[in-house]
Structure 1
Amino acid sequence: MLADMAMPSGNPHSALAAPIAAATGCAAPRERNDACPGALRLHQAGDGGLARVRVPGGVLGAGQAAALGEAATRLGDGDLHLTSRGNLQLRGLGEGSDVGLARLLDGAGLLPSAAHERVRNIVASPLSGLDGYGHRDIRDQLAELDRLLCASEEARGLSGRFLFGVDDGRGDVVTLGADVTLVAAREGGALLRVGADRDAGALRVDSAHAPAAAVTAAEVFLEAARECGVRAWRVGELPMTGGELAHRVAQRLGDAGRIVPVPPLPEVDDRGPAPGLVTAPAGPVALSVLAPLGRLTGHQWTLLVRTAERDGSGELRLTPWRGVVVPGLAPGRAPGALAALGDAGLVADPASPWRGVGACAGRPGCAKSLTDVRADAAAALTGNGNRNANGDGNGNGDGDGDGNEGGAQALPVYWSGCERRCGHPRGERVEVVAGMGGYRVSVVRGTGGPLPVPLSRHAPHTPYAPHTPHTPHAELAATVAAARNPRSTDEPRPTTTAPSR
Structure 2
Amino acid sequence: MLAAMPPVPTPKPAPGAPRVRERGDACPGALRLHSADDGHLARLRLPAGRLTARQVEVLADAAEALGDGRISVTSRGNAELRGLADGCGAELAALLAEAGLLPSATHERVRNIVVSPAAGLDGLGAADVQLWARELDERLCAAPWAAALSGRFLFVLDDGRGDVTGLGGDVTLVAVDPRTALLHLGGRAVRVAADDAPRAALAAARVFLSAARAAGTGAWRVRELPEGHGADVRDVREALVVEEVPEPVLPQGPPPAPGPLGPAALHVLAPLGRLTAAQLRALLPADEVRLTPWRGAVVVGAGPDRTPALDAAGLITRPDSPWAGVSACTGRPGCARSLADVRADAVPGRPGLPVHYSGCERRCGHPHGDWVDVLAAPGGGYLVDGAPVPRTDLAPAVTTARTAPRTTK
Q: TM-score w.r.t. structure 1 length? A: 0.75
* C-alpha distance 229-288 of structure 1, shift in aligned 2 (>3 A): same
* C-alpha distance 262-189 of structure 1, shift in aligned 2 (>3 A): farther
CA contact (8 A) 1:275 1:289 kept: yes
Alignment correspondent of 2:208: 221
Alignment correspondent of 2:314: 345
> Which whole-Å deviations, capped at 9, do the CAs of 1:242-297 have from their partners, x for residues lacking one?
9x5234534x347535311365555422xx22111222xxxx42111100111111
Residue 363 of structure 1 pairs with residue 332 of structure 2: yes
CA contact (8 A) 1:202 1:246 kept: no
Separation in structure 1 between the aligned mates of residue 304 and residue 176 of structure 2, nearest angstrom: 34
> Which whole-Å deviations, capped at 9, do the CAs of 1:155-191 have from their partners, x for residues lacking one?
1111111111110000011010110011101373111
Alignment correspondent of 1:104: 95
Which of 208, 221, 235 lines up with 1:249 in the alignment?
Answer: 235
* C-alpha distance 66-241 of structure 1, shift in aligned 2 (>3 A): farther
Alignment correspondent of 1:311: none
Separation in structure 2 between the aligned mates of residue 28 and residue 39 of structure 1, nearest angstrom: 27
CA contact (8 A) 2:189 2:248 kept: no
Which of 147, 150, 158 lines up with 1:156 in the alignment?
Answer: 147
CA contact (8 A) 1:203 1:246 kept: no
Separation in structure 2 between the aligned mates of residue 158 and residue 178 of structure 1, nearest angstrom: 14
SS in 1 for 2:317: coil
Which of 289, 299, 302 lines up with 2:281 in the alignment?
Answer: 302
CA contact (8 A) 2:185 2:233 kept: no
Which of 65, 72, 78 lines up with 1:81 in the alignment?
Answer: 72
Which of 107, 111, 127 lines up with 1:116 in the alignment?
Answer: 107
CA contact (8 A) 1:122 1:164 kept: yes
> Which whole-Å deviations, capped at 9, do the CAs of 1:316-367 have from their partners, x for residues lacking one?
01000001111123xxxx2331110001100011100011111101111111
- The offset of 1:490, in angstroms, is 4.2
SS in 1 for 2:109: coil
Alignment correspondent of 1:391: none
Separation in structure 2 between the aligned mates of residue 241 and residue 375 of structure 1, nearest angstrom: 47
SS in 1 for 2:163: coil
- The offset of 1:66, in angstroms, is 1.1
Alignment correspondent of 1:416: 358
* C-alpha distance 76-254 of structure 1, shift in aligned 2 (>3 A): closer
CA contact (8 A) 1:285 1:328 kept: yes
Separation in structure 2 between the aligned mates of residue 2 and residue 233 of structure 1, nearest angstrom: 22
Alignment correspondent of 2:54: 63
* C-alpha distance 73-3 of structure 1, shift in aligned 2 (>3 A): closer
- The offset of 1:31, in angstroms, is 2.9
- The offset of 1:3, in angstroms, is 10
Alignment correspondent of 1:293: 272
2:268 maps to amino acid? V
CA contact (8 A) 2:234 2:244 kept: no
* C-alpha distance 259-104 of structure 1, shift in aligned 2 (>3 A): same
Alignment correspondent of 1:30: 21
SS in 2 for 1:118: helix
Alignment correspondent of 1:327: 300
SS in 1 for 2:231: helix
Q: Select between 169-178 and 253-262 the one with higher mean Cα deviation.
A: 253-262
Which of 275, 284, 288 lines up with 2:258 in the alignment?
Answer: 275
> Which whole-Å deviations, capped at 9, do the CAs of 1:416-456 have from their partners, x for residues lacking one?
100111111221111111122532222xxxxxxxxxxx3x1
Q: Structure 1: which 4+ aligned runs deviate by more than 6 Å?
A: 1-4
Which sections of structure 2, spanning at least 5 residues, go unmatched?
5-12
Structure ID, larger Rg: 1
> What are the within-5 Å matches in structure 2 for residues 230-269 of structure 1?
230-240=217-227, 244-250=230-236, 252-253=237-238, 256-261=241-246, 264=249, 267-269=252-254
SS in 2 for 1:115: coil
Separation in structure 1 between the aligned mates of residue 296 and residue 216 of structure 2, nearest angstrom: 39
CA contact (8 A) 2:25 2:150 kept: yes
Separation in structure 1 between the aligned mates of residue 90 and residue 3 of structure 2, nearest angstrom: 17
- The offset of 1:26, in angstroms, is 6.9
SS in 1 for 2:301: strand
CA contact (8 A) 2:204 2:233 kept: no
> How many percent identity over aligned positions?
56
Q: TM-score w.r.t. structure 2 length? A: 0.92
2:206 maps to amino acid? E
Residue 441 of structure 1 pairs with residue 384 of structure 2: yes
* C-alpha distance 490-212 of structure 1, shift in aligned 2 (>3 A): closer
* C-alpha distance 257-191 of structure 1, shift in aligned 2 (>3 A): same
Alignment correspondent of 2:7: none
Which of 355, 370, 376 lines up with 1:428 in the alignment?
Answer: 370
Separation in structure 1 between the aligned mates of residue 223 and residue 249 of structure 2, nearest angstrom: 22
2:396 maps to amino acid? A
Separation in structure 2 between the aligned mates of residue 131 and residue 318 of structure 1, nearest angstrom: 17
Separation in structure 1 between the aligned mates of residue 290 and residue 374 of structure 2, nearest angstrom: 29
1:65 maps to amino acid? V
CA contact (8 A) 1:419 1:435 kept: no
SS in 1 for 2:375: strand
CA contact (8 A) 2:258 2:317 kept: yes
CA contact (8 A) 1:2 1:117 kept: no
The size of the alignment, in residue pairs, is: 399
CA contact (8 A) 1:2 1:116 kept: no
* C-alpha distance 3-145 of structure 1, shift in aligned 2 (>3 A): farther
CA contact (8 A) 1:287 1:325 kept: yes
* C-alpha distance 240-153 of structure 1, shift in aligned 2 (>3 A): farther
- The offset of 1:241, in angstroms, is 8.1
- The offset of 1:99, in angstroms, is 0.4
* C-alpha distance 108-369 of structure 1, shift in aligned 2 (>3 A): same
